[in-house]
């Protein structure tokens, strides 16, 4: 039963893994306190509220919607427009809604190649007639409808205006709680367009590892080397994205000897996280003594160092491809 005296909260899951819902559940007993002040009216994985129930609500009757997941299908677009219309405040919750997230790595391939690989060329699929999914299919019982698989993954703000972003894969539950506390206490939210709950420095700035001399002669994958637990991981040859990632997570990955993967997105003032990482790495590569080297030797040494970087596109744009300057593979 909806409580008309409490502000309404909605949580929606678009094209994502469900980790953002887990970050909500990680509030643990604070959920009981939240329930005293906020009325959760729509959350498909927790409540039985249907789409037509949301459609019946008055416009802007939902105080805040946490929208997680990227925009991959026509249903995602439809729900984004519906929840934008019904919500006073729309938050892009998590890396997927903020910048496309991991689903946006799909943009490195075309829509057609995805369908071909899954339904035609897959060795485990028997499809002798070459049938592909259709948006509408007529059957004797009636017309079946599936959401359209769009040409590429988009971030939430590509299809509707977004008031705030709460980044992370998933966002840290402490950050979410600070936002919810602001709502429960009736405090004013910051100006529209802000990143909620985070400062605007970098993971490197908050990381407590010792920084010495960044001069990288080769790169390693995590299983290829034993690292010093107190020294900067980038200086030890691991591709740590902390230098091109805004903080807010508390540098949790470096604390457990894992390089930052960049899930909190680009720092303030940086438009393209991957480009920022490329620039940063270009300034710290050590390819030998430049003096006396021929151009061919310089190129050879540079290519040798770069060759040690696993999956540059999937690493530097792991969470931000849809929001980057690249956005997607260009049509051939």
Q: Residue 77, CB half-sphere, CA atoms under 13 Å: how many? A: 13
At 193 the pLDDT is: 81
- pLDDT mean across residues, the chain: 90
Q: Which residues have a Cβ under 8 Å from the Cβ of 322 and sit 6 or more positions away?
A: 70, 99, 100, 101, 104, 107, 152, 153, 154, 155, 158, 328
At 332 the pLDDT is: 52
- Asked whether 286 and 325 are in contact (CB, 8 A), the reply is no
At 311 the pLDDT is: 86
Q: Mean of the pLDDT values across residues 120-139?
A: 90
Q: Mean of the pLDDT values across residues 172-180?
A: 90
Phi, psi of 173 (to 5 degrees): -60, -30
> Helix 30-37 and helix 173-184: axis angle, to 10°?
30
- Summarised one tens digit per residue, pLDDT across range 237-260 is 999 999 999 998 889 999 999 999
Q: Is 80 exceeded by the pLDDT of residue 5?
A: no
The domain ranges of the chain are 8-103+152-184, 110-150, 203-316
Distances (CA, A) of 208 to 168, 173, 183, 212, 250: 20, 22, 32, 12, 10
* Fold of the CATH domain 8-103+152-184: Rossmann fold (3.40.50)
Q: Is 70 exceeded by the pLDDT of residue 108?
A: yes
Q: Would you call the peptide bond into 170 cis, given omega within 30 degrees of 0 as the criterion?
A: yes
Q: How does strand 142-145 pair with strand 62-68?
A: unpaired
Q: Is 80 exceeded by the pLDDT of residue 69?
A: yes
Question: In percent, how much of the chain has pLDDT > 70?
Answer: 95
What spatial distance separates the first Cα and last Cα of the chain, rounded to whole Å?
54
């Amino acid at each position: 039963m909806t409580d008309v005296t409490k502000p309404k909260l909605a949580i929606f899951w678009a094209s994502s893994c469900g980790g953002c819902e887990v970050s909500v559940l990680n509030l643990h007993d604070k959920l009981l306190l939240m329930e005293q002040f906020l009325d959760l009216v729509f959350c498909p994985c927790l409540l039985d509220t249907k789409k037509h129930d949301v459609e019946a609500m008055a416009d802007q009757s939902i105080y805040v919607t946490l929208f997680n997941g990227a925009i991959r299908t026509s249903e995602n677009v439809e729900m984004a427009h519906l929840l934008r219309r019904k919500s006073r405040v729309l938050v892009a919750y998590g890396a997927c809604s903020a910048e496309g997230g991991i689903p946006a790595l799909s943009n490195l391939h075309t829509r057609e190649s995805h369908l071909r690989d899954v339904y035609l060329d897959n060795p485990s699929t028997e499809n002798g007639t070459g049938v592909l999914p259709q948006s509408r299919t007529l059957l004797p019982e009636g017309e079946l409808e599936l959401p359209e698989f769009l040409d590429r993954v988009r971030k939430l703000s590509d299809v509707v205006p977004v008031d705030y972003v709460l980044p992370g894969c998933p966002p840290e539950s402490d950050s979410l709680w600070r936002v919810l506390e602001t709502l429960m206490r009736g405090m004013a939210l910051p100006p529209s367009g802000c990143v909620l709950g985070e400062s605007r420095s970098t993971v490197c700035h908050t990381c407590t590892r010792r920084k010495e001399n960044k001069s990288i002669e080769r790169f390693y994958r995590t299983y290829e080397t034993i690292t010093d637990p107190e020294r900067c991981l980038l200086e030890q040859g691991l591709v740590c994205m902390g230098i091109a990632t805004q903080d807010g997570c508390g540098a949790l990955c470096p604390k457990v000897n894992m390089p930052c993967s960049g899930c909190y997105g680009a720092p303030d003032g940086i438009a393209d996280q991957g480009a920022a990482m490329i620039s940063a790495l270009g300034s710290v590569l050590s390819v030998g003594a430049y003096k006396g080297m021929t151009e061919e030797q310089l190129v050879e040494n540079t290519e040798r160092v770069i060759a040690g970087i696993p999956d540059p596109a999937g690493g530097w744009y792991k969470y931000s491809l849809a929001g980057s300057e690249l956005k997607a593979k260009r049509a051939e």
